[in-house]
Structure 1
Amino acid sequence: MLVLDTEDLPATDRIEAFEAAAVGESGSRTVEVWDFGPLTLFATRGSGMHVWRTPRHARFDSVDTVSVITQSEGTGIFTWNGHEQHVGPDTLALAHRTAGHEYAWSGAGLSVAFMVDTERLGLPEHQIRAATPLPQRSNVVPLLLHHIRGLYDRADQLSVGPGAEALASATLELTRALIVSVAADDATQRSVSEDTLLTRVLAYIRAHLRDPGLTPHRIAAAHNISERTLYRLCEQGGLGLEKWIIRRRLEGTRRDLGTPEHAHRTIEAIARSWGFTNPAYFSRRFHQTYGATPRQWRRLHHPAGSPPPDEPLRTPRR
């Protein structure tokens, strides 16, 4: 991870320092960068930012890239070819490096974006350009937003983990699905939809993982397929649907049980927040998976001097 911190620099030097990391102008204080294989993730936080890219910049740049820009805090303004778009927590912007664009916000804000070589998307340039003013029309946007924020939340660990390349691949497939859903002909839409279906299904599950009402029927209905097709799709992808969901939920509870910011919460509350409505079932599955009860795991990983709250959960039967 690369961090650019301009807080200690004179105001007159901040623009030059930021331009060393990205083309633009910034009053921002920190820029973080992570590499996920072919994909680069950026997080920019600060009191305001104005980044612009002109066609002249593009002519002198040998790298053709596509970026997806999100705004987790504050409201950004993306301008391209006379089109102005406000980017907030529920929206995103699509930028193509060969075209001029501007992105700015004022006041406190946090923008998280990623950049990748255009050729990695396997889509013609005219489709990417056609999609630039239209991303909010796609139902893929909520999935891609949730995915990007998940990468950012654990970027330090995920970017150096064995799954970094797979995460990059999933990000690109979601981006392809977004672009073709608003800018491609029907045949291309069907082809890419089929190619990216499993990725979109898993992204949907991750986005709704904490909901105890997440069922195979609901997942299938959200993607206009039958439950039988859903199970066959997962089998072809080498995973069991229910087991995959339970494992992801268990991973979430394990993280929360071991972190100080959740020390004030009961084990039962943490389990419920990850979709487990039966405490005994949760405790049993946790013990089967990790070889320790939730209480034992919490005591093992809890910081000394701050005992966790007393827990009423039962020890799983052997």
Structure 2
Amino acid sequence: MLLLDTDAHPAHERVDAFQSIAAGESGTCTIEHEGPQVRIRLERWNFGPMTMFATQGTGIEVRRSTRQVRRDPVNTVSVTTQSRGSGAFAWNDHRQYIRPGTLVMANKTAGYDYGWSGMGYAVAFMVDADHLGVPEHLVRAAIPLLSTSPVAPLLLHHVRALHRDADRLGTEPGADALAAATLELTRALIGSVTAAPPRHAVEDTTLLTRILAYARTHLIEPDLTPHRIAHAHHISVRTLYRICENGGLSLEQWIIRRRLEGARQDLAAPQHAHRTIESIARSWGFTNPAHFSRRFRQFFGVTPGQWRRGHPIR
């Protein structure tokens, strides 16, 4: 969704327009623009608890001081990826040069400084720290070390792919699941640089995140089987089960639960009012109506029909 295009404003109103929106979205901050010709385009999409932003335009510096943090406290974590332009990022005592392909993280309970010179383009996402579910001291410890993480390129690729189709993906029933996948990758990123487990444990954690992201992407396809998932990740089915077990989950149950949650959302969604329960079940990979109804009741305590009647579609 487009929040701002300064080309639609007179030149003398552009700075104030961007300042107002930026402060409303991410907290009180100071913004300095490079040169007199200010051109900024700002877009936003919501994925469940996560908000994604795309900012492009002329040189800019966004600064949030410790005084502003105390005056306007927010407990959010942001991850920013640079697609175009070069500049700098600072958080507490950490200083970092940014260029296309750089990924940086900020905890908004501390001051930060971020910006680029010339034309630039950045894609970022922001989430409340409570939703991320990682202790603040680990987030803070990870920030200076992210460039050393083997997970950073994976998260960077994921964010860029999500942004490319954000207009469609942000409005679909799977938006919450995509947010969950993004946050899982972020947790893996933080964990990969703040702990010192055996190397195979780090590799397994990273691979599990990729496995679940792959499963979410292909969730509605009936042929999403352990064999297919293992083949896609160049591992054996036995290794796949071991990685999932070490991660504390049953892959089959995880897939079934996510499919049931998707079907439950569709059953109450106005845009699916014309569809039968069986049609919705098939679209989420359930080819046997009786099996779908049984598992639905098992997980949610009501049949699909009871759920739909209890959530009348307007």
Place the TM-score, normalised by the shorter chain, in its bin.
0.5 to 0.7
**CA positional deviation for 1:33:** 0.8
Distance 1:73 1:205 in 2: 31
TM-superposed deviation, 1:218: 7.8
Corresponding residue for residue 183 of structure 2: 172
**Could you say which residue in structure 1 is the equivalent of 2:131?**
120
Contact 2:78 2:105 in 1 (8 A): yes
Kindly provide the CA deviation profile for residues 124-163 of structure 1, in whole angstroms up to 9, marking residues without a partner as x.
1111111111111111111111111111111111111101
User: Which one of 221, 233, 238 corresponds to residue 255 of structure 2?
Assistant: 238
Counterparts in 2 of 1:108 and 1:2: CA distance versus 1, 3 Å: same
Give the TM-score of the pair, scaled to structure 2.
0.64
The match for 1:5 is 5
Consecutive unaligned residues in structure 1, runs of 5 or more: 208-213, 240-318
SS at match of 1:89: coil
**Secondary structure of the corresponding residue to residue 46 of structure 2:** strand
Q: Which moved more, 1:18-27 or 1:108-117?
A: 18-27
Aligned to 2:101: 90
Q: In 2 relative to 1, CA 205–167 (structure 1 residues): closer, same or farther, beyond 3 Å?
A: closer
Alpha-carbon offset, residue 10 of structure 1: 4.1
Q: What secondary structure does 2:74 align onto?
A: coil
Q: Are 1:219 and 2:237 an aligned pair?
A: no
**Distance change (3 Å), C-alpha of 1:193 and 1:24:** farther
Cα shift at 1:46: 0.6
The answer to whether residue 72 in structure 2 is matched with residue 61 in structure 1 is yes
Establish whether residue 17 from structure 1 lines up as the match of residue 34 from structure 2: no
* Residue pair 1:18, 1:24 contacting (<8 A) in 2 also: no
For 1:12 and 1:133, how far apart are their aligned partners in 2? 38
> CA-to-partner distance for each residue in 1:260-279, whole Å, 9 max, x for gaps?
xxxxxxxxxxxxxxxxxxxx
Listed one character per residue, the Cα deviations across residues 73-131 of structure 1 (whole Å, up to 9, x for unaligned) are 12242112232212333320001101111111111111000000011121111111111
Alignment of 1:104-253 (within 5 A): 104-184=115-195, 186=197, 197-203=207-213, 216=230, 219-220=233-234, 227-230=237-240, 233=244, 234-235=251-252, 237-238=254-255
2: distance between equivalents of 1:114 and 1:136? 18
Report if the CA contact (8 A) 2:78-2:124 is conserved.
yes
Within-5 A mapping of 1:279-298: none
In the other structure, the counterpart of 1:293 is: none
The TM-score with structure 1 as length reference comes to 0.63
- Secondary structure of 1:126's aligned partner: helix
Cα separation, 2, equivalents of 1:152 and 1:218: 23
For the residues of structure 1 that align with 2:74 and 2:190, how far apart are their CA atoms?
Answer: 20
Which runs of no fewer than 5 residues in structure 2 stay unpaired? 23-28, 218-227, 245-250, 257-314
Write the distance in 2 (CA, Å) between the matches of 1:120 and 1:215: 28
Q: Could you tell me the percent identity over the aligned residues? A: 53
CA distance in 1, matches of 2:152, 2:214: 11
Report the 3-state secondary structure (helix = DSSP H, G, I; strand = E; otherwise coil) of the residue aligned with 2:100. Answer: coil
SS of 2:7's partner is coil
The one-letter code of the counterpart of 1:201 is: I
1:206 & 1:28 partners in 2: Cα distance? Answer: 37
Q: Where does residue 73 of structure 1 map in the other structure?
A: 84
Once residues 210 and 232 of structure 2 are traced to their aligned partners in structure 1, the CA distance between those partners, rounded to angstroms, is 14
In structure 1, C-alpha distance between the alignment counterparts of 2:30 and 2:44, rounded to whole Å: 16
Q: How far apart, in 2, do the equivalents of 1:19 and 1:84 lie? A: 24
Distance 1:205 1:106 in 2: 40
CA offset at residue 55 of structure 1? 1.2
Distance 1:201 1:28, change over 3 A: farther
